[in-house]
Amino acid sequence: MSQPAISKHLKVLEAAGLVTRSRRATARLSHLEAKPLQTAAAWIEDYQRFWADSFDALEDHLTTVKDTTVTNKEQE
């Protein structure tokens, strides 16, 4: 990745509050701000649980429908 691309990515992360930058002599240091990421991770976790539960319920429903269909065909 080129230096301009890295700088552009760091500026976006800084604008989002995910990175703070400082200068030490001629070096520009970047520091990860974990708190906003923790908030995002908690939000994602809630939706992950929601979708996991939804897919589990869908799987149960489809299994029931399949079993019912197979049973009905066997009785014919």
pLDDT, tens digit, 9 for 90 and up, residues 11-69: 999 999 999 999 899 988 999 998 888 888 999 999 999 999 999 999 999 999 988 88
**How crowded is residue 3: how many other Cβ atoms within 10 Å of its Cβ?**
7
Cα 74 to Cα 27: distance, rounded to the nearest angstrom? 75
pLDDT above 80: residue 76: no
**Per-residue pLDDT at 58:** 97
Biggest CA pair distance of the chain: 84
Q: State which amino acid sits at residue 17.
A: G
- 31 touches 19 (CB < 8 A): yes
**Per-residue pLDDT at 75:** 73
